[in-house]
Amino acid sequence: MLVTKEYNRTNALRYARRWALDRNPLFFSFNGIGGDCTNFASQILFAGGCVMNYRPTYGWYYISSNDRTPSWSGVSFFYDFLINNKEQGPFAHEVQPDEIEPGDMIQLGNENGEYYHTLIVTKKDDDGEIYIAAHSDDYLDRPLREYDYARIRYLHIDGIRFETQIRDACFETLIDGGIEPFE
């Protein structure tokens, strides 16, 4: 049974701040071979939910540089997964700039409608100024206004879906005074 939990923006932002200007050795860096921006965004998203979708090709997961889905490191595949995901893992929808929150994602595109860069919102000030973290060209708390782009889309992370056991099995734990069966 699929259930939904909240996206942990605090953990996502802690991860972004820790690794924005460095590389986590658990993940391959795609700098120089297409860019590392969406790989970094995926790491942040994973830090905020700790659930991957292991569906071949159309899921969202990373095991190694050679065993991952296109959505883990490809800008358009990442978008398609987040917007269309009805299964396990994170899901999102497009919003207006005033609805974006820290921990959400932004994608930049060119005049031909091709999106080429994924950024992570690190903060938003009282005037609505958005600040980002990114890889490829590494930044932390860079104002979004400093980027040059023809198109932009704002992705609000709605939550994380994950598989859970059917709750009929909780009785034995409950009757024996074991762990909380409602978590």
pLDDT digits (tens, 9 = 90+) for 64-91: 888 999 999 999 999 999 999 999 999 9
pTM for this one? 0.88
Residue 16 domain flag: yes
Q: What is the pLDDT along the chain (183 residues), one digit of tens a residue?
A: 889 999 999 999 999 999 999 999 998 787 778 778 999 999 999 999 999 999 988 999 999 888 999 999 999 999 999 999 999 999 999 999 999 999 999 999 999 999 999 999 999 999 999 999 999 999 999 999 999 999 999 999 999 999 876 555 555 555 555 554 444
Residue 180 domain flag: no
Which residue segment(s) compose the domain that 57 sits in? 2-168
Residue 155 domain flag: yes
Residue 175 domain flag: no
Count of domains for the chain: 1
Question: What pLDDT sits at residue 181?
Answer: 42
Residue 182 domain flag: no
- Kindly give, in sequence order, each residue whose CB lies less than 8 Å from that of residue 163, ignoring residues fewer than 6 positions away: 1, 2, 88
Question: What pLDDT sits at residue 31?
Answer: 79
Residue 181 domain flag: no
Cα gap 49→162, rounded to integer Å = 9
Residue 173 domain flag: no
Question: What pLDDT sits at residue 166?
Answer: 52
How would DSSP label each residue in the chain? -EEEE---HHHHHHHHHHHTTS--TTS---TTTT-SHHHHHHHHHHHTT---B--TTTSB-EEETTEE-HHHH-HHHHHHHHHH--SSEEEEEEE-GGG--TT-EEEEE-TTS-EEEEEEEEEE-TT--EEEEETTTTEEEEEGGG---SEEEEEEEEEEEEE---GGGGHHHHHTT-S-TT-
Residue 25 domain flag: yes
Which CATH number does the domain housing residue 17 bear?
3.90.1720
Question: What pLDDT sits at residue 183?
Answer: 44
